[in-house]
Amino acid sequence: EAGVTQSPTHLIKTRGQQATLRCSPISGHTSVYWYQQALGLGLQFLLWYDEGEERNRGNFPPRFSGRQFPNYSSELNVNALELEDSALYLCASSLVGLAGGRSYNEQFFGPGTRLTVL
Amino acid sequence: KQEVTQIPAALSVPEGENLVLNCSFTDSAIYNLQWFRQDPGKGLTSLLLIQSSQREQTSGRLNASLDKSSGRSTLYIAASQPGDSATYLCAVRPPDTGTASKLTFGTGTRLQVTL
């Protein structure tokens, strides 16, 4: 079974540009989560999508946005890039989002996209 | 606000030693706790998940325990190997209220197993 995939592996942008990061969840998973891992700051929750809708977002400015497509893949968009946006962006997926029913809600992570803003 | 702390921040042990990594969290109202490993510059690999109703989980040489009331979890690694060298992260998930499915991560323990 294929795991969570992310593209591109690396992305280099200049300040003020826009970046688009992509994530494909494990087949059958409906929830997708985005996390930012900046140097020295640890892993911070960014966004959670389930069944095509944004369910929760972390403490990030509105220029961080995204969407989830009908096939449950997801995009993270970062507008007006700033130097401090340089980080490893990790995507995770899980089987259950809002609905209960299943006991286990384990999140499985992709390899990440390394975004460098110059 | 949930805060997760991991001690020690870094650990170096000789091959073959048994070791314990610690994770503490401030809010005991959690849904589950996950342990991950992260190799440098890479994504996260899920090691173990413990539901709030469970006390421990085992996978191979790894054993994770959870004491929810005291806000603590430990990851025990038996007979450590150089391949175990990585950063180990714990993360807690709040009760599934429908709007709070995010994980709160600890700061990590960087483990080096030497020959």
User: What pLDDT, on the 0 to 100 scale, is given for residue A60?
Assistant: 95
Contacts of A61 (CB under 8 A, 6+ apart): none
Q: In this complex, which of B42, B46, B91 lies closest to A108 when CB atoms are compared?
A: B46
pLDDT grade, residue B96 (50/70/90)?
Answer: low
* Digit-coded pLDDT (tens) for A40-92: 788 999 999 988 999 889 999 999 999 999 999 999 999 999 999 999 999 99
Asked which of A69-73, B9-13, B41-45 is least confident by mean pLDDT, the reply is: B41-45
Q: Report the C-alpha gap between B115 and B113 in whole angstroms.
A: 7
CA angle B48, B102, B55 (to 5 degrees): 35
Tell me if A107 and B46 make a contact (CB, 8 A cut-off).
yes
B71 Cβ neighbours under 8 A, 6+ residues apart: B24, B25, B26, B27, B28
Q: What band does B97 get if pLDDT is binned at 50, 70 and 90?
A: low
As a whole number of angstroms, the distance between CA A87 and CA A42 comes to 10
Interface test with A, best of B5, B90, B103 (most A CBs within 10 A): B103
pLDDT over threshold 80, residue B98: no
Between the two ends of chain B, the Cα-to-Cα distance in Å is 41
**Tokens for A84?**
């401090």
**Chain A partners within 8 Å of B31 (Cβ):** 105
Q: How confident is the model at residue A98 (pLDDT cuts 50, 70, 90)?
A: very low
Which of B2 and B88 is assigned the larger pLDDT?
Answer: B88
| pLDDT bracket for residue A101 (50, 70, 90) | very low
Residue among B44, B101, B104 minimizing CB distance to A97 = B101
Q: Which residue has the higher pLDDT, B100 or A66?
A: A66
Q: What is the dihedral of CA A59, A62, A63, A65, to 10 degrees?
A: 90
What pLDDT score was predicted for residue A95?
Answer: 78
